[in-house]
Amino acid sequence: LIGSSCVGLAVLLTRQTQRANEQAEAQRLAEQAASKEPRVEDYLATDPVELELGVGLVKLADRQRGGDLLRHVQSIRRDLASKLGIILPKVRIRDNLQLGRNEYRINIGGMPVAGGEVSPNRLLAIGPGTLEGDMPGLPTEDPAHGRPALWIEHDVRDRARQAGCTVVEPSGVIAEHLTATMARHADELLTRDATRHLIDELKKTSPTVVEELIPGAMKLAEVQQVLQMLLRENVSIRRLELILEALGDAALRTSDPIALVEHVRSRLARTLCAAYRDSENRLRAATLDPEIEDQIREGVERTEDGLCVRMSPQAVEEIRRHVAEQIEPLVQSNRPPVLLVEPLVRPAVRRITAAAMPELAVLSYNEITRDTIVESVGLVKA
């Protein structure tokens, strides 16, 4: 009887232990599931920069399958930091089944801003050589810069290079488009926190420059606005110390962002000229007829919110058309399109041409260094 009681007690204890273990395991799984479940707040967050790939392009980002897209993307942040002087956020890469098989899309702040389609098993030949009628391939455009291009087979690579083409792998095509897009939207990516980080880094080596400007003469938000306006015109802010010195001088006289930017640009003249002149210090540019400059000066008003165009759409379009005609030789010769104007109308000219010709650099005579040789390629007339 005692033995039977002991056996019964042992069975009962075993069952209780099993039940306790099962309850503990169920609780652990429930807690694990709860920890994996995203918070509602997570749905509010957006990635600053996102690259979405169609299912046919996923292999380009897979190192185990020979993809080198990740290597290209990792170098973009270093290259743009060196070129533009800003630290850009990391790029999130993910697949998107809603895209076409060979399509990709670039999002900035959660919104699509660019995209394209590549042939993952071909090469992209870019340049005038692709216009030769007997060059085999699929006609297209370089997605980053809109140049004529062909998707060619690998065995045509040498022939394309002999014809003067630049030949790029599919991953390189996407990476170049991503680079151009991030540079074009660099002003949006320069957040308040990113601005603070740049200034904190500068403060380690040039504390006086920073302390004289912020927060006494200018607020951080005002400095950010000036830097964004420079980036919007593809002006590097790498020489941040010089920029802050210029702002420190100009902020004593004005708080107008446009006037501050123009003052900074004049101090960055050497940087601006170096970006657009050739190895012999020649800067080829179109110039504006004084009559058009007067027309623009009278038709653009400076307000608290910036520049406001009072000209008719027809007049604006006519000016754009004349400018495009005169810079066409520069575009055709693969040189940067530059328009040289009087200092007082430079912001207004840029305001009028920016939407239609984002690649056009509008420089003023105040931004030309003494060692730069200006060669006019055409006069924009009314």
Mean pLDDT of the chain: 88
Q: Could you read off the pLDDT of 93-132 as tens digits, one per residue?
A: 999 999 999 999 999 999 999 999 999 999 999 987 666 6
Return d(Cα 340, Cα 368) in angstroms, integer. Answer: 9
Extended strands (E) in 45-110: 49-53, 91-95, 103-108
Q: Is the entire prediction scored with pTM above 0.85?
A: no
Amino acid at position 326, single letter: Q
Apex 299 CA angle, 295 and 300, nearest 5? 125
Apex 290 CA angle, 285 and 292, nearest 5? 85
Q: Could you read off the pLDDT of 57-99 as tens digits, one per residue?
A: 999 998 888 888 999 998 999 999 999 999 999 999 999 999 9
Return d(Cα 70, Cα 301) in angstroms, integer. Answer: 47
Which residues are paired to 95 by β-bridges?
A: 53
Lowest mean pLDDT among 7-21, 39-53, 62-76, 341-355: 7-21
Q: What is the pLDDT of residue 145?
A: 87
Return d(Cα 263, Cα 5) in angstroms, integer. Answer: 97
Q: Phi and psi (nearest 5°) for 117?
A: -140, 135
Amino acid at position 321, single letter: R
Which residues are paired to 107 by β-bridges?
A: 50, 112
Mean pLDDT of 234-243: 96
Q: What is the pLDDT of residue 174?
A: 96
**Most distant CA pair in the chain: distance in Å?**
119
Confidence category of residue 199, pLDDT binned at 50, 70, 90: very high
Say if CB 307 and CB 258 are below 8 A apart: yes
| DSSP, residue by residue, 151-202 | EE-GGGHHHHHHTT-EEE-HHHHHHHHHHHHHHHTHHHH--HHHHHHHHHHH
* Domain assignments of the chain as residue spans, ordered by start: 49-186, 190-267, 280-380
Outline where 253-354 has alpha helix (H).
257-267, 269-276, 290-299, 313-332, 346-353
Say if CB 341 and CB 249 are below 8 A apart: no
Tokens, residue 118: 């590549």
Residue 200 exposure: Cα atoms within 13 Å on the Cβ side: 7
The CATH number that domain 49-186 falls under is 3.40.30.60
Tokens, residue 44: 């509010």
Say if CB 87 and CB 198 are below 8 A apart: yes
Apex 218 CA angle, 212 and 222, nearest 5? 140
SS3 for 373? strand
Q: Phi and psi (nearest 5°) for 111?
A: -115, 135
SS3 for 341? strand
Q: Could you read off the pLDDT of 308-342 as tens digits, one per residue?
A: 888 899 999 999 999 999 999 998 888 999 999 99
Amino acid at position 73, single letter: V
Contacts 24+ apart (CB under 8 A), 159-165: 159/135, 160/123, 160/125, 160/129, 160/130, 160/135, 163/125, 163/127, 163/129, 163/130, 163/132, 163/135, 164/127, 164/128, 164/129, 165/125, 165/126, 165/127, 165/129, 165/130
Cis omega (within 30 of 0) on the bond before 215? yes
Is CATH 1.10.8.540 the classification given to domain 190-267?
yes
User: Which overall architecture, per CATH, does domain 280-380 show?
Assistant: 3-Layer(aba) Sandwich (3.40)
Mean pLDDT of 26-44: 59
Say if CB 183 and CB 80 are below 8 A apart: yes
Q: What is the pLDDT of residue 309?
A: 86
Residue 165 exposure: Cα atoms within 13 Å on the Cβ side: 28
Length of the chain: 382
Confidence category of residue 42, pLDDT binned at 50, 70, 90: low
SS3 for 133? coil
